[in-house]
Structure 1
């Protein structure tokens, strides 16, 4: 029984990785599930056993991307002990991860288009936005922030980061655009300090 669970987990992992590559390279609308199953060396029935349809497979891929980006945010933020620097490092980590080739089309373009803004936002709220809110709550609890609504501030910063990532991804000089964005974010965040 254990071997079957391991085989199933490996099959799912392989399908997700191959599908992610296809969604990254072709975009959601141009991905054909036949290509995914052929490349994975499984039957169409095996794919449908784990994922109801193309949208179900894409949702699992998007959730994986969202989780990886959240892990990156945590990893970057953990590089400092200062709560404000953690916030800035986490913001930078989010933007850098979101604009990576492997993530940007899935996360920023096809994700909202395929599932709609509400579903996409719900996923974001469970991952990166949750971390942003937790960091702002920590700063507020320590008394290091102006008396502002953490909820409103979370949505304000999250929206700014998402829009900035979209903008940076379209720029020819992404390094400069990222630095310009981080300068603006740093300036805005300093306005919230006590």
Structure 2
């Protein structure tokens, strides 16, 4: 029984990997399920068994990308023991991860359009905002932040970073523009410092 569970999980991960490539290269509307199942060596029925439909498959791909960006943010933040530097590093990592060419179309273009605003926000909250909120709460508990609403801080900073990502994605020199955005974000964060 364990073998079947492992094989099923491997099949699901393989479909997600293949679908991610197709959604990245062709976009949601032009990615053909026939091509995805053919490359995965499956039937369309097998794909529907695991994901119900194309939108369900896209959601799984979107979550995978969100999770990877979240892990990158955590890893970059963890490179420092200074809690303030962790926040700064995490913010930069979010901007860097979201504008990676293999993430842009899924996160920034098709994500909101395909999933709808409500689902997009739920995924953003689950994979990005919750980590940001936890960091801000910890910083406030340690007396590093002004005693103002963590909810408001989280939403304002998250919104600023999401908008910055859209702006950065439209530019050619991502590194230079990320540096510019980080100067602004650091000034915003300084305003929250106790």
Is TM more than 0.5 here? yes
Q: Equivalent residues in 2 for 1:1-194 (5 A)?
A: 1-194=1-194
Q: 1:175, CA displacement in angstroms?
A: 1.4
Q: What whole-Å deviation, never above 9, does each CA across 1:24-70 have from its counterpart, x for those lacking one?
A: 11111111100000111111111111010000000011111111111
**Distance across 1 between alignment mates of 2:170 and 2:24:** 16
Q: 1:22, CA displacement in angstroms?
A: 0.6
Using structure 2 for the length normalisation, give the TM-score.
Answer: 0.97
**Distance across 2 between alignment mates of 1:174 and 1:126:** 26
**Distance across 1 between alignment mates of 2:97 and 2:40:** 26
RMSD: 0.9
**Distance across 2 between alignment mates of 1:44 and 1:116:** 25
For residue 39 of structure 1, give the secondary structure of its aligned residue in structure 2.
Answer: helix
Using structure 1 for the length normalisation, give the TM-score.
Answer: 0.97
Stretches of structure 1 lacking an aligned partner (at least 5 in a row):
none
Farther-moved stretch of structure 1 (108-117 vs 129-138) = 108-117
Q: 1:148, CA displacement in angstroms?
A: 1.6
Q: What whole-Å deviation, never above 9, does each CA across 1:127-153 have from its counterpart, x for those lacking one?
A: 111000000000110111112211001
Q: What whole-Å deviation, never above 9, does each CA across 1:94-126 have from its counterpart, x for those lacking one?
A: 111100111111111111111111111111111
- Superposition misfits of 4+ residues, deviation over 4 angstroms: none
Q: 1:17, CA displacement in angstroms?
A: 0.2
